[in-house]
Amino acid sequence: MIFGRRLLYTLLLLGSGAIGSLAKTNPIIIKGNAFFDSETGERFYLRGVDYQPGGSSSLVDPLATDSCYKDVEIFKKMGVNTIRVYQVDNAADHDNCMKAFEEAGIYVILDLNTFRHSISRADPALSYNKVYLQHIFSTVDAFKDYDNVLGFFSGNEVVNDHETTAITWVKATTRDVKAYIKKHASRQIPVGYSAADIAENRLELAHYFNCGDESERADFYAFNMYEWCGHSSMSVSGYFDRIREFSSYSIPLFLSEFGCNTVEIFEDQTPDRPFTEIEAIYSPLMTESFSGGLVYEYSAEPNNYGLVIVDDNENRKISKNCVTLMKQFQKVPNPKGDGGFRENASPSECPRNSTYFQAWDVLPTMPKEAKVYLEEGAGEPLGIDGPTNMWSPYHHQDGNGFTTPKHPKVKPGLSNATNSSKANLGEEKEEESASSKVTFTLVQLGLVLLVSMFIKF
């Protein structure tokens, strides 16, 4: 009971300061490797949480329910200025929630994919089709007119190990979404990628999204990074290494997920997360390359990362970890001035293929059937329950859905004639080889028949 009163007092105390500090959500723009308020010119740092009550794969669109009104009040008390939403229904009405967040000074960064619409790791070429592009373009349409949309993610952890081939199609999706926004939106909303933090290909993936023509490059890049655990330090956590590795990176970086829970355990068996990395993330040393981050995650799920407990009656209960995070946010201000950002750094060179990284510099062309959406608009949004792009004639169904593909990986359709000719030549050689094998088999069969007839007679 005493703890409950102290908790309420803490919320009221922290909330009173946080609400007054929040401002109108002017559109966010990019200069060099940082975000800026388009009206005030102040540098913008993400101080946020990942927001998907029910978990990142939940089928409930959190931006289309009345529950968002309860959550926005908690966000204001926390001092949050950004939330990330992993999955939405593009056919739903988001006006009320988006307006509530805007009035609270809260930006939204949105994943365009859903559990039914994404680039498949197993079969990326076939999942990159007109159904997929119509869906993500429709999601852009559903949110492009809200000033508090900070940006879109074209993918989340599509690469989560040493197999990176699918990333070529994710970069193609990034290009397509940028082109669609340029043609159909009133402002150029940033588009980027949220990466799993895989040590063996961390740098290659980041540089891949920042190389090539401007129309193909990501506008920002983010990591789901949990290296800082408990009471760590810049050196032990690897943050110093990340600063060094990205000291010349030319687009904004931020942590799309952070907040390790492999720490000491409270008596109620929940993790004691001190969030001491907040001081490091918003330090002048870090902000030369990074622009803040998003704590994983808002609602308590079985994974023990949640900050707020949501019961069956949709009531909210603040956890001890949430109070800790609020105190850290309140204690640590943003750096003064521009935080040491780089305005004129050069894009990356495209990385070479290696043992732990394989991708193509020449991206696949947009499917012919999808080009009408780019030119004329995506049309009516079909929603999360609409047609899925996750179908392939090379798959067969079992009790759990689709299994892995029954054909080898292929190089993406290339956009220049020389490479296309090489690809076609390879196909012709394969057909020729297959034909030769059939001919050889027929000859063998004929010889066997002749020998049989000779023995008979």
Active site residues: 157, 257
Number of DSSP helices (H) and strands (E) in the chain, helices first: 14, 15
Buried b (16+ CB within 10 A) or exposed e, 88-124: bbbbbebeebbebbbebbbbbbbbbbbebbbbbbbbb
**Interacting residues of 261 by C-beta distance below 8 A, sequence separation 6+:** 271, 273, 303, 304, 305
Tokens standing for residue 124: 């990326």
DSSP single-letter state for residue 117: B
Residue type, 113: N
Nearest CA to 141 among 389, 381, 384, 366?
A: 381
256, containing H or E segment:
strand 253-258
Nearest CA to 293 among 256, 321, 263?
A: 256
Rounded Cα–Cα distance for residues 72 and 106 (Å): 9
Rounded Cα–Cα distance for residues 32 and 60 (Å): 36
- Asked if 75 contacts 326 with a C-beta cutoff of 8 angstroms, the reply is no
At residue 191, what are phi and psi to the nearest 5 degrees?
-130, 130
User: From start to end of 165-204, where are the E strands?
Assistant: 191-196
Rounded Cα–Cα distance for residues 114 and 383 (Å): 10
- Asked if 110 contacts 149 with a C-beta cutoff of 8 angstroms, the reply is yes
